[in-house]
Amino acid sequence: MDIDHWSSVADDFIEAASASVKGQVRTHVLHQHLMDHLPGPPAAILDVGGGAGHQAIPLARAGFDVTLLDSSATMLGQAERRLASEPGDVRNRVRLLQAEGEQAQEATNGQRFSAVLCHGVLMYLEDPAALVSSLCECVSPGGLVSVMALNARTLAILPALRRRWQDALVAFDAETEDGVLGVRTRADTVEGMSELLRRHDVQPVAWYGVWLFADWMPLPGVTADEVTQLAAVELEASRRDPYRQLSRVFHLVGRRVSSGHPPGSHPRPVRSPRR
């Protein structure tokens, strides 16, 4: 019998990913980034490790056909309950599949997608290589691969702000930390993740920050209007240096080399931040 390791933390994860102020900011910022790069609806999107659908459902509302793949039956049950409150046309655009991300190609019967997303999953793996390979196998030539990972360059900020000075000193050279769910998480760099994508013929085209101000300060009693304003500030910060470099996590977008172009024949541009 498979063990659902997410069952004990599903409620906390959903709160962090969608219901909290931080969660609402994350969903808004990532959605806006994606809309800058995705083809028009109804393009087919695969959301690997999509959990309760916090990214998949807004994309379905926008007209995309979304396959949400997750290894956790508990998380998929939460997604199904959230979908139940959506209009029929939105529900019909979302397919739920239970499988490990590394088996995504088999689980989707070899379907190729216009975009493959994997947000907030790689940090829970000791080695992301197998999952990244799977993501890249599932995307069509010219299609989008979108990953969100913990930023190794900013691990010292949170313990320092909490006056845990010794922890902060150690974090400057750390590669892991205890995450908000009490689970050990692994950090990456934009450069390292970009190189991993390139090994699978996916060329990075842009990267962004996610969670800057919303992650470093307590936000009790925030009104809906304040959340909207905060999300607008976070979105602007996510696109600019030096702010994006200080973000808690980073969002990296790449495109699969189109058929007819041999691997390595494309340049390696990464979009410059706005000034």
Higher-confidence residue of 91 and 259: namely 91
Assess if residue 32 is contained within a domain: yes
Q: How far is CA 81 from CA 39, 75, 91, 164, in A?
A: 28, 10, 11, 40
Specify if 19 maps to a domain. yes
Structural domain contains residue 58? yes
Q: Does any domain span residue 273?
A: no
Q: Which residues of 74-103 are buried (b: 16+ CB within 10 A; e: fewer)?
A: bbbbbbeebbeebeeebeebbebbbebbbe
| Residue 265 is assigned to a structural domain of this protein | no
Whether residue 266 is predicted with pLDDT greater than 50 in this model: the reply is no
Q: What is the CATH number of the domain that holds 61?
A: 3.40.50.150
Helix or strand or coil: residue 162?
A: coil
- Using a 10 angstrom Cβ sphere, with 0-12 exposed, 13-18 middle and 19 or more buried, the burial of residue 162 is exposed
Q: Is 270 helix (H, G, I), strand (E, B) or coil?
A: coil
Classify 32 as helix, strand or coil: helix
Residue 28 within any structural domain of the chain = yes
Select from 26, 13, 249 the least CA-distant residue to 148: 249
Residue 130 predicted with pLDDT over 90: yes
- pLDDT, tens only, 193-248: 999 999 999 999 999 999 899 888 878 888 999 999 999 999 999 999 999 999 99
**Residue at 274 is within a domain:** no
Percent of the chain topping pLDDT 90: 78
Q: What is the average per-residue pLDDT within 84-100?
A: 98
Burial 187-202 (b: 16+ CB within 10 A, else e): bbebeebbebbbebbb
Please tell me the total count of domains within the chain: 1
Residue 262 lies in a domain: no
Q: What is the structure's pLDDT at 263?
A: 42
Residue 19 has a pLDDT of 66
Residue-number span of the structural domain to which 84 is assigned? 10-256
